[in-house]
Structure formats: structure tokens, C-alpha cells
Structure 1
Amino acid sequence: MDGARTVLEALSIAVSAGVPTLVWGSPGTGKTSAVVALAESLSWPVEVVIGSIREPSDFAGLPVISDGTVRLAPPAWAQRLATAGHGLLFLDELTTAPPAVQAAMLRVVLERVVGDLRLPDKVQVVAAANPPEEAADGWEPAPPLANRFVHLDWPVDGRQIARGLAMGFPVPSLAGFARPASREQVMEARATVAAFLEIRPALALRVPSSSGTWGGSSSMGGASAGNPPDRGAWNAGAPGSAGHGWPSPRSWEAAAKLMAACKAAGASPDVLAVLVAGAVGEGAALEFLSWLEHLDLPDPMAVLAGPDAFELPRRGDRAFAVLTSVVAVAVAAGDVERWNAAWRVIAKAARTAPDVATLAARTLAGHRPPGAEIPAALLELSPILRSAGLLGD
């Protein structure tokens, strides 16, 4: 898959997953056209809000006195999106927005709140930005704002531009919308991320200390699950990449949503690598994707379908990942059959990995579905449940 198509698919999947997305690239390279084309392909209304010509009140709301009280009146673009009930909010020229305007955008991007108006859940946020040195009076996004986006680098390839001018530019893929992630897939992805952070807790939060630097551009077409993309010129994931993706609980949660969306859509390893690197930065993504590539986990649905045949992996991180995934899927399913099957898996795991089984049992015990009886497998687990405080003496 070439770089442009990889980024277009990544953009579509991020929007379908409800993760705010920031597309980086030089001026005049088609970022805005691609975003508008995505909205048109979905038959969604799109509101283009240009940061350089806006004031903080265009996002925080304009104070208005009404009946003796002050309310924050939303601008017309927000009211139109709220009336439509769905759509795309496109924040263009983000790096030309001064710091005060960027600060006002924070709540809009994360919570979709404009003044006193909450935008519908089906309104998604996409932004575009030029490298600060290529923007007129450019400002680097502050770390709190940057951490609310998944960052995608817009590739520029002369031959692809030539083909686009001659035969038309590629349109965004809608794979993420055709096959949205299920709740079970989202829970499984969250469990996988949790398993990684269990062995690499230092990567759960790495707040950048200073702004990074941008220099040049490169294609992301050679990315793979074990070799995340060279996100161009930005050293995302390095300690100083303040304006791009960096690891935090929020960005890891976004990475899990994107993983689930990629699995549901059948996306390529290139697309997954681009999205994970865009969420948590390249350094953290490199470690996570390399670990994931060699993890070779069984399908938790298959484990729940045949719990008696399941064998717990010997490697500690794999054992943790399998059990947390199995429990997450059972909890998401919410039915008695899979809840009971998960207890049988935990009972087997308790024989060789009681500590890991205790953690899984604690979660499963707190999500007992209606009508479920105490399973026989709990008899084997009585000692570890008692030590975990889940059973009385």
C-alpha cells in the first residue's frame, strides 16, 4: 500500500473510531481536500473552522446575559452541527491559531463542547496543520492539545501527484465505517494495551519536556507492525516531541480504540502502525508493536468456546495478556455462558499463575451477569479469592 492510501485509510479508521485526528503536512498538498472528500463520501455536513481568524470565544462561547444569568452562546457553525446531529468539524490551520485560541479548543476537541452546547456524539473532529516554520506566524500545539489527537503525517510523492492530476486523486477509504469495531473487540484491545503497560509501566506516561523539531518529509509506505513508520521528519515519541503524539493514559486509550477499529476493518499492519505511532509517539509505538508482533495470542473468543482445551502460556506477559483479554471479552458479552467459561479458564490458570489469576478473578467477580449462579470452578479458586479479599473467611 502506498503512503497516501495508507494515510487515507488511517484517517477514515480514526474518524470511524471517534478519535480526534490531526493531519500534518506542507501547505497546498491536499490535506483539506482529503478531509472534505471524506465528509462528502459519508454524506456528512462539514464545518471548516480556520484557527488563524478565530478568537477564543469562537470555541469557549460568547458571554451573553439572559434573564439575569450569563450563558456562553455557541457560534453558528456549532449550532449547525448540533442541528444536523452528525458531521465533521474540521479545524484547519491549527498551527496558525495563537496559544489562547488553542487553549479554548481543548474542550471542543476532547468533549465536543462549544460554549454551553454539547455537540452530538456523531460529530467527529479532524484538524490540519502545517509545520510551524511553514505556517504564517506559526505556533506549535501545546502538549495538552497535541495529546488529544492522533497525528498523521501527510505524504508528498511527486509521482503520486502526477498520477492524481492526470487520473484523479484517491478518495478516502470507508472501511472503518462499513465494519465498526464491536464492544468485545474494543475490550480485547484495551486488555492487550494493559498487558503491555503491565511490563512497561514507564511508558504509561511520558510528558514531553520541550518542543520537538521538524525537518523535511518522508513517506510512510514502508511501515509494518514490527517496524513502525518513519513519521517523516518529526521525531515523535522522543522526549521533546511536545507538539505531536506522546504516551499518556488518554493516548493509550485512543490507541486501543484504533487497534479495535483496525481489526474490525481488516486494516493492514501499515495502517495500524501509523495510527498507534500517531497516538502515543513513535518510540512507545515501536516497543508496543514489536511486542505485539511476537506475542502470538490466541483468540479470546476461541478460548471461551473451548475453555477445557486452553493451556496458559508459560511466559508471564503472554499469560497476563491472555487472561485479561478473555475476561474483557466475557465481561463485554455480558452472558452467563461466557462468564462461566471465563471462570473455568481462570481456574486452570490458578494452578500455575495464581497472581495473574487473582487479578482476572477480581475483575470477573465484579461483573456477574443477571441469572448467573456460582460456578463450580470457583471451588478451585477459593484460596486465591480469599487471599484477594473476594471471599469471606
Structure 2
Amino acid sequence: MRPAQLSTILKQEFKSTRHGHHTPVMLWGPPGVGKSDMVRQVAQEHGAPVIDIRLSQMEPSDLRGIPFRIDGHVNWAIPSILPDAERHGDAGILFLDEITSAPPTVSAAAYQLILDRRLGEYQVPEGWAIFAAGNRQGDRGITYSMPAPLANRFSHFEVETHLDDWVLWAYRHNIDERVIGFLRFRPELLFDFDPTHNPVAFPSPRSWEFAHRGLQKFSSHPDLLQGTLQACVGPAAGIELTAFVNSLDKMPDLDAILAGEEVAVPEEIDLQYAVAAALVGRAIRAQESGAEIEVMGRILDYAQRFPQREMGVMLVSDMHRAIGETLFSVPQFGDWAQAISDVMLYE
């Protein structure tokens, strides 16, 4: 399932704790596809804390607590890592990350916690959602087969990569537009993991964020840039991204485009993707200056000049996802929509 769809599901599951309809959710997927980030993003949007428990690093007794004797009876000291309304708040997310890496004896200790929301006398606060994530057995990680009693305590979702969802996330998190443009040009490299070869570095949504960081640190060190990018996304993808970045000196003048001047569209397809990504970034930043209507109007004018109209549609679609319905109030939008009326804009 697409990340955007899963984010909606997680949000609804979080809200459902208020009404007693919450079902624990298990996210499955290969490494680097953003399982943990989706959970943290839901918590951030709701201003809720996340308690991240790695069962793979625990013993069964770590969940149950330490026994102590009072008046001839044995009580249990509840572990401080478990959600507590007084210390952590009335609502939050209990996140059992890397749950498939936990030995069966440890995961068995979590059965009651996940389904019954309790461990002995301990009770998970009503406003707390329970989410979990883990790799599949074929992903070359340290994983155990999930026992049927544990699996039956979750609803299960497979995380798929989707370029449009990643691009929207990338713009919102100020990812370098050169990375966005490159992946629009080479979408199959968003995630390229072959577990049979057990690569150390490989392209994934997570590692492309690392590549973004590498560009910020080493763009002024051309002798180190390619090696740095290869260390993030693997040898082949690193070489391709470096070549893409180095070709951008042929980019048209973006300031001239936004000034309404007649600027030719580059013939090279990779440069067209780079221009489109950069213009969306300019539109986003224009919101801070209050000039977004004028800037988006100039971008809409330029979008009509692409020889392949699908390229202009991609540009405007990305701008709409990043900015929203403000785009529809731009005077040039009607003319642009009429010009591409036979090309689908929305999914």
C-alpha cells in the first residue's frame, strides 16, 4: 500500500483510541522505505509522544518488570518505558519497531500487551495507539518468523514505495531539488534493493535523504562528491546522480523564467526534469514572500512550453501536491488546464 494511504490509516487508528475502536497495526516492508518515519510523522502531526520499544534488545523480563515482595505477596515494578498517563500524557503511540527481529521468547511476552493492552496489573492508557514495524524474512535482516498468535493480534499492511508520495514528502522536508529532479528522471531508482546480492549501500527513500545531506556537505568538493554519493545510494546510482548534478550547468535561467522572459526549454530530458523540480521548489519558497500567485503564474506559462505535455503536467501536479488549492486561484491556471484538457492531471 502507498505511504500516503498508510499515513491516513495510521492517523485514523490513532484517533480511534478515543472511541475504543483501535486495532494494533503491523507495517511490513524492506529496509529504508520509511516505516518508522510514517509512525513518527503521525505522532508529530497530533503533538503526541512516541515510545519506541525495540523488543530485539530486550529480555522477556524487561517487559514484565521486576518482582518484589510486599506482605507475603509478590508484586511487579512496572517498567518505566511503558506508557504512563501521568508521565507521558493521555495520548500517544507505543511503537514496537523491529518486532520481527525479536526472539520468539520476547515477542511472546508482548502478546497480552498488544491484544489486551495490559501486562499483569499494568494497563495501556486508553488514548495510546499500538503500532509495530518489521522487515520481511527475505530482506536479509535478522528476522524471525512471526508466530501465528502474535500475527493474529495485528492488522497487517505492506509498505510500498511510490514516487509521487516521496516527492511530496521531499518538498515538505526541503530535500535538495537536484535529488528530486534526478528521481523524476530515473524513478526506478527510488528503491532498488536486491536481497540476493546483499548490498551494503543501495537506493531507498532513506538513503536518498542521505544523498541530499551529502550534496549539502560536498558539492563544493567535486573530488569527494561522487564517492560520497556512492556511499549513500550505492555505486551505480551514485555515479548517475553525480553525472546528473554535473550536467546542471546547462540549466536555463530560473530567475528569467520567473520574471516572465522568453526562456527556451532545454532539449535534454534530464534537464527538463531538473527544471521542473527546481521550479516547484521556487513556488514553495515564494509562499514565504507573498509572491506565490505571480510566481505560480509564470511557472504555469512555462509549463505550456514543454514539447512533451506530460512533462508540464508532472510539473503542475507536483506543484499542486506541494502547495494545495491556492494553485487554482492563479489566473493562468484556467488557460493551462484548457491547453492540456486531454491529459489527465489528477489520479
* TM-score, normalisation: structure 1: 0.40
* TM-score, normalisation: structure 2: 0.45
Q: Which has the larger radius of gyration?
A: 2
Greater relative contact order (Cα 8 A, min sep 6): structure 1 or 2?
A: 1
